[in-house]
Amino acid sequence: MSRYAAFVLFLASGIVLQLSHGTEVSVNDKDNKLCLYANLMVNFSVSYEIADNKSATVEFELPADVKTDGSECNATSSMLKLNFGEGHSWSMNFAVNGEKYEADTITFSYQLSDATLFPKSVSNDTKTVAVKPHITDVGVGTCYSCKSRDVIEADSVNQTLWNVLIQAFVINGNKSEQITSCAADLPVTTVAPTTHSTSTTTAAPVTNTTSSAPPTTPTPTPTLPTPAVGKYSFKSDENGTACLLANFGLRIGLKQAEKYEEMNFDPNGTIVSGLCGVNSSELVLVSSTMTIILTFTNDTKNFRLHAVNVTGKTSAGVVFSEANTNLSLWQAAISSSYMCNKEQNYTITSVLSFYTFNLQVQPFAVKKGVFSTAEECQADAESFLVPIAVGVALLVLILIVLLAYFIGRKRNMAAGYESF
């Protein structure tokens, strides 16, 4: 029954990822003209105290539905204030310095009394964190743009900003088309070393020809073997038994500029850590080449893979960091595990893809350290449906042949009686 439930669930949800489009707001001045525009994505990781002097960490993102009460702007300073949830707010202050402006402070206030975001918190206090962002030297009258991830750390709160587009000082109510990009988005140029030679060489004669040079054939990317299946488990400190289980082989697909590369994740020597919570669990895998963080959430009935964060190096040594915190993958009932033995391809971001093999995960309600009954993915369900359909077709064919045989025999017998 769980196999077909998973089949129906995937037909309903599909494998289309729901990528977040960020939080977009506009602030008008006293003359009702646009004076501040922002479109950005912010992810929060907050640690807080729970019972028995223990701590828990939750991750959530700035929602698209926010209010801008308290935002203001004038000729020399402005403030973007975004209010959301049960008393939470996030604000950024901007100040003009000559022909440039910068963001001098980010202030994040959160209510620990919000049991939805902070389950089992022993405190109902309001916490406030102020940090210095990395937004400087932005030309007045231009939009600041930064697609790269900017991680700002504090004692108990980490904030990650990306896909940021802000114009803190809009002139004459019209948003500018000019962009000031952050340093992380600018291409890195490499100057080839100049070689000086004292030898004299004779230049080869130049021959003019109308024939075109043969096209260059790109070197084919070698086919990777099927990645090894890693068996990962995280044990909580409370009873020493596994509270999160995951088995899978994983291949990473990464597109950088015009180059596409695939890398198998090696489970050998991988360090496993994580977090098991009531509504959120996290699996952290650290290998010699990359770090993968998988965050699962549940709605008390079903769980899903909610966020993926991958940081690593390519074969050429180029560092990359990609994340998506608005996924809805690997869904199953809270008391079950999710299984997909067939190879599956998931687009995590526009440049990052996952290829999974022999996947089975259970981030909640693990009993006795073993997987519960699995809900299978659509591909696995189809692998059972195909032979069943073939069997039914063969059975129908046999029935047709038998029916034709008996009809023919009856007619022959009738014909025999008539000739007699």
Q: Render pLDDT for 34-58 as a digit per residue (tens, 0 to 9).
A: 999 999 999 999 999 999 888 899 9
Per residue, the 3-state secondary structure of 61-116, as one string, reads ECCCCCECCCCEECCCEEEEEEEECCCEEEEEEEEEECCEEEEEEEEEEEECCCCC
SS3 call for 103? strand
DSSP H/E element including 8: helix 2-13
Closest CA to 321 of 185, 178, 198: 185
Average per-residue pLDDT in the chain? 82
DSSP H/E element including 417: helix 378-419
The full DSSP string for 358-385 is EEEEE-S--BTTB--PEEEPHHHHHHHH
Confidence of residue 415 (pLDDT cuts 50, 70, 90): low
Q: What is the pTM of this model?
A: 0.46
Q: Render pLDDT for 300-341 as a digit per residue (tens, 0 to 9).
A: 899 999 999 999 888 888 888 899 988 899 999 999 999 999
The C-alpha atoms of residue 250 and residue 64 are separated, in whole angstroms, by 32
Could you tell me what percent of the chain has a pLDDT over 70? Answer: 82
Domains and CATH numbers, the chain: 16-185 (2.40.160.110), 230-379 (2.40.160.110)
**pLDDT at 117 exceeding the cut of 50:** yes
Question: pLDDT at position 407, please?
Answer: 83
Closest CA to 100 of 76, 130, 66, 74: 76
Which residues, at least 6 apart from 130, have a Cβ–Cβ distance to it below 8 Å?
A: 105, 106, 107, 108
CB atoms within 10 A of CB 330: 26
The C-alpha atoms of residue 361 and residue 374 are separated, in whole angstroms, by 9
CB 81 within 8 A of CB 71: yes
CB atoms within 10 A of CB 378: 20
Q: Render pLDDT for 172-228 as a digit per residue (tens, 0 to 9).
A: 889 888 888 888 777 654 444 444 444 444 444 433 333 344 444 444 455 789 999
Closest CA to 251 of 225, 286, 274, 222: 225
Residue 378 token pair = 């659509």
Closest CA to 65 of 46, 89, 83: 83
Closest CA to 248 of 335, 362, 144: 362
Distance of CA 88 to the CA centre of its chain: 24
CB 241 within 8 A of CB 369: yes
DSSP H/E element including 418: helix 378-419
Closest CA to 243 of 272, 210, 205, 200: 272
Closest CA to 163 of 187, 178, 136, 184: 184
SS3 call for 222? coil
Q: Render pLDDT for 255-285 as a digit per residue (tens, 0 to 9).
A: 987 789 999 999 999 999 988 888 899 999 9
